[in-house]
Each structure stands twice: as C-alpha cells, then as structure tokens.
Chain A
C-alpha cells in the first residue's frame, strides 16, 4: 500500500498544478455568491434558500470536479506514453488505478470542504445561523463525489474524455431518480427497467439538504450507513474499471 500512497501523492501534486481545478473552484464560488444574492423576499426563508441551493451547487460542483479531475487522467497517460514505464516495473495495474483514484479523491474532498467553508462564510455574511449538520452534509456530498469519480474512471477505459462527460452526467441524473420515476421512462418494459435500476446507485441517499434547510435532526447512524453505501458502490465501480484495465492490451 506504500506504493499506492506514494503514487496518490504524486497524482495529488499533479492535479493541484492543473488550472482545471482552480477554474472549477472559481465557478462554484461564483455560483454560491450568485445564489446568496438572489432575494427570497422573506427574511425567515433566506437561510433555507441559501442552504438548499448552496448544497445543490456544491453537489453539482462535485460532479464537475470528478469530470474535470479524472476524465483525462488515463487517456493522457496513455497518449503521452508515460503509462508504459509506470506499469513496466514500479506499479501493478490495480496500484496505478488506486493511486490515481486516491490522489484525485483527496483533491476533490479538499476542494469540496473549501466550498463548504465558502458557504459558511456566505451565511455568516448574511448574519444567518450555520446548521450543525452542514459539515456532515458536505461529507456525504464528498462520498457522492468519490462515487462519481469512480464512475469517471470506469468510463475513461471505454470512452474518450468528450464522451465521458455526457455519460457520467447521464448516470448522475438517472441515479437521482426513484424506481418508479425510472420505470416511467419506458413504462412498456417495467421488468427490464427495474432490473437496470438495480445496477444503478440511489443518489438520494446522499441528499440531506432538505432536512438541514428545514431544521430537522438526522440520526447519526444514518450518516454511517450512507457513507458505507457510497464507499461500497465506489469500490464496485472501481473493480469494474480495474477489470476493464486488466483486460486492456497497452502498447
């Protein structure tokens, strides 16, 4: 695991130098500032409005970060021919994949925590209270971001980066749908649609912005279950990506 750790730090340093990360962060901050400047015409609801849309903005930011950070990693390594020397001696394929994933996951988590702090600053600026569950809510979005990251890695082995973006975005949208909503896309084949839905994650597990905005308390055990679910699904997607990568002839 020391090899994976070292390689993930190399990935982290490489990603931190890229302008993509900083560009996406600026976009998220601009969106948060824009959201906070929209009046809700009701002093009591302004906090709810900022929290609700702010957390949604951070969630979309997690999607952008996953795509911006990871969609180009493997294709670029292959294109620049830096993949072959890496796999020739120091790294096994699973170590390469995990190193790249952990490096990108750390950068993504740090970026999302920074955006959460930005949301807190905006709430303070408007003299609104900061809910205690805001950080745990961000933690769930980070886990959702890691799932998206693993999905991006999976698609990067079967599709080019320009195709990776719409595929991952489509999966992101579809995974927000309930079973009945998903079956409603093709009501003529309910059995088939339910079967396909089984393979997709339930992204609503990570959504707790509504209870936070309305002052509901969430049981701590739910956070543990949701995080466990997200990590297991990310591991599943990574294993599929690894299966593809191991079957790939790299020359």
Chain B
C-alpha cells in the first residue's frame, strides 16, 4: 500500500490514542481522590442563621440596613485581620492552586504513561516513514 500522511501517520496515531490505556483523561478534578478535593468551604467553622461568612465572602440573603452594613464591614475587617490557619491547612478558595499537576502526585504516573505513548508513536512514525524517504 502506498504510504500517505493519512494512512501512515494519522490512523496509527488515532488508533494508539484511543486504546483504553491512553483514553483516561487526567483533568485533576476528575481523577483526584476525595481527600485531595476540599469542596466544603464552610468546613471547620459554623455560622448562626443569617450571619455572613467572613472567610468565604458568602453573605446572608437577608436585606441589611445601613448601620448593619457598616457593622458587618467592621467585623469583616476584624475577621480578616485575625484570620489564621494551622500550618499545612489550605486556605479557602485555593482548590485551583492545588489542582495543578505539580501538586497532584496521583497524576504523575499518567504523565509518564502518556510520555511513553508519545515516545513510542514518535519512534513508530520515524521507522514507518523511513522506507519512502527521499534524499
């Protein structure tokens, strides 16, 4: 069969990539173990009904008067000023930071797997197109 770009390259590439070993995506949020994902931003602290959450900036749905707003602003400033976590604890709203590959060791194996697939493809394509090489 005459080698063309379509038959010699695209088809093997697509065939290899759709193998079950290669078809698992590693979007960190999709493959992360439960302990890696902290979904409850209110974890670790409670609120009375109607009280705003100073740490996540989630406010109560009740309408506020002008005096209440000023009071809450002052309380919020005070809460942020004294906001502290134990060493090693994640801050609120930082899940995106820990969803990067450097912070997700559970996808490193998948990275190595994909690297080997791409390397095998590169070697395969190099030798598959070698015979028809023109000088």
Task: Please give the residue numbers on chain A whose beta carbons come within 8 Å of chain B beta carbons, in ascending order.
Answer: 87-88, 92-94, 178-180, 194-195, 197-199, 202, 204-205, 207-208, 210-211, 214, 216, 218-219, 221-222, 225-226, 228-229, 231-233, 235-236, 238-240, 242-244, 246-247, 249-250
Contacts and interface: CB of A to CB of B under 8 A. Distances in A.
B7 to A, nearest CB: 11
Contact of A197 (B25, B115, B118, B122): B25
A231 B128 CA distance: 21
A199 B29 CA distance: 20
A198 B102 contact: no
Contacts of A229: 111-112, 114-115
Chain A facing B: main interface SS: helix
B3 A247 contact: yes
Contacts of A211: 100, 102-103
Given A233-B118, A235-B118, A235-B122, A240 B135 contact: no
B17 A199 contact: yes
Contact of B134 (A197, A202, A242, A249): A249
B53 interface: no
B101 A205 contact: yes
Given A211-B103, A232-B116, A235-B122, 12 more contacts: A87-B135, A92-B135, A198-B17, A198-B25, A221-B108, A228-B112, A232-B119, A233-B118, A236-B121, A236-B125, A243-B5, A243-B9
Nearest to B99: A178
Interface residues of B, number: 42
Contacts of B9: 240, 243
Chain B facing A: main interface SS: helix
Interface of B: 3-5, 8-9, 13, 17-18, 22-23, 25-30, 97, 100-103, 105, 108, 111-112, 114-116, 118-119, 121-123, 125-126, 128-130, 132-135
A225 B112 contact: yes
A29 B67 CA distance: 51
B126 A232 contact: no
A93 B133 contact: yes
A198 B22 contact: yes
A182 to B, nearest CB: 9
A225 B111 contact: yes
A240 B27 contact: no
Contact of B118 (A93, A222, A236): A236
A180 B4 CA distance: 34
